[in-house]
């Protein structure tokens, strides 16, 4: 047995090295209140404080003939508090349109940290920020907190989901029969739309339907009954079912 520095919750195997050649009784006593009568006990130690805990060890051997010897080691074991790793992050519901996360490190009893963001990126910053790819995916984020004085460490892991979003662009004006790229009225969608449920209608100011389609790839070219309509304000209505839930 030699002087030991351990982390809270760790165990030490003690071995009898006395010179007695006959069997007898063995008494181990520790200053944290633990005892054992085994010859070679395995003892585990806890420290709930924020500073190292020194453990005194007393070992007594008594032979069957009544001979007794003992030895005491003062502060023979230093039990260091184990860090607690924990973090939160904002926003709580990241999405493909906002995959920028800020992590708040709430660990205790730690002096250094390593982050693994689950996308082959790491950091040693206490409370880092991180930008994920703009794709819907889950990432396992792991924070490891270290107490370097005894190399104690703890980890905290959570899964972060970058959610898909239905992003679409609806033009507020277009130029029919202009020969430009803006000559049709057509919404632009990202993923997450069931194209088989899509329906778009456009109405004039009298409520008449001037255009209707169930194909999201087809836009309105500004014609009604084979004639271009007058320049005016028209109302659109789009129905669809999203596929993300």
Q: What is the pLDDT of residues 90-113, one digit of tens each?
A: 999 999 889 999 999 999 989 999
What does the alpha-carbon distance between residue 168 and residue 243 come to, in Å, rounded to a whole number?
14
Q: Which two tokens stand for residue 243?
A: 């596929």
pTM: 0.64
Q: Are 72 and 21 in contact (CB under 8 A)?
A: no
Q: How far is residue 55's CA from residue 5's CA, in Å, rounded to a whole number? A: 10
H or E segment at 23? none
4-80 fold: Immunoglobulin-like (2.60.40)
Hey, where are the domains in the chain?
Answer: 4-80, 87-162, 168-242
Query: Residue 110, exposed/middle/buried by CB under 10 A (0-12, 13-18, 19+)?
Result: buried
Four-way CATH pick for 87-162: 1.10.10.10, 2.130.10.10, 3.30.1060.10, 2.60.40.10? 2.60.40.10
Nearest to 27 by CA among 62, 1, 54, 56: 62
- Here the tokens at position 17 are 């090295």
User: Taking the CB of residue 145, how many other CB atoms lie within 10 A of it?
Assistant: 25
236 versus 148: which is more confidently predicted?
236
Q: Do domains 4-80 and 87-162 have the same CATH topology?
A: yes
Neighbours of 200 (CB within 10 A): 22
Torsion sign, CA atoms 218, 220, 221, 226? positive
Which of 215, 235, 229 is CA-nearest to residue 172? Answer: 235
pLDDT, tens digit (0-9, with 9 covering 90-100), for 200-229: 999 999 999 999 999 998 999 999 999 999
pLDDT exceeds 50 at position 1: no
């Amino acid at each position: 047995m030699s002087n030991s520095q351990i982390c809270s919750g760790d165990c030490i195997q003690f071995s009898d090295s006395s010179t007695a050649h006959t069997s007898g009784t063995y008494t181990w006593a520790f200053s944290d209140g633990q005892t054992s009568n085994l010859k070679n006990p395995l003892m585990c130690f806890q420290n709930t404080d924020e500073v190292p805990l020194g453990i005194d060890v007393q070992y007594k051997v008594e032979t069957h003939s009544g001979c007794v010897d003992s030895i005491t080691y003062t502060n023979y074991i230093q039990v260091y508090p184990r860090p607690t790793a924990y973090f939160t992050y904002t926003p709580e519901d990241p999405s493909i349109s906002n995959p920028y996360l800020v992590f708040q490190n709430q660990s205790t009893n730690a002096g250094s940290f390593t982050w693994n963001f689950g996308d082959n990126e790491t950091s040693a910053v206490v409370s880092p920020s991180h930008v994920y790819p703009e794709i819907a995916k889950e990432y396992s984020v792991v924070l490891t907190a270290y107490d370097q004085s005894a190399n104690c460490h703890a980890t905290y892991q959570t899964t972060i989901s970058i959610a898909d979003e239905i992003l679409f662009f609806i033009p507020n004006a277009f130029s029919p029969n202009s020969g430009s790229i803006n000559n049709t009225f057509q919404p632009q969608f990202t993923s997450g739309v069931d194209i088989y449920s899509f329906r778009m209608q456009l109405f004039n100011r009298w409520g008449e339907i001037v255009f209707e389609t169930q194909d999201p790839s087809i836009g309105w070219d500004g014609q009604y009954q084979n004639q271009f309509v007058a320049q005016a304000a028209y109302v659109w209505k789009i129905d669809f079912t999203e596929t993300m839930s």
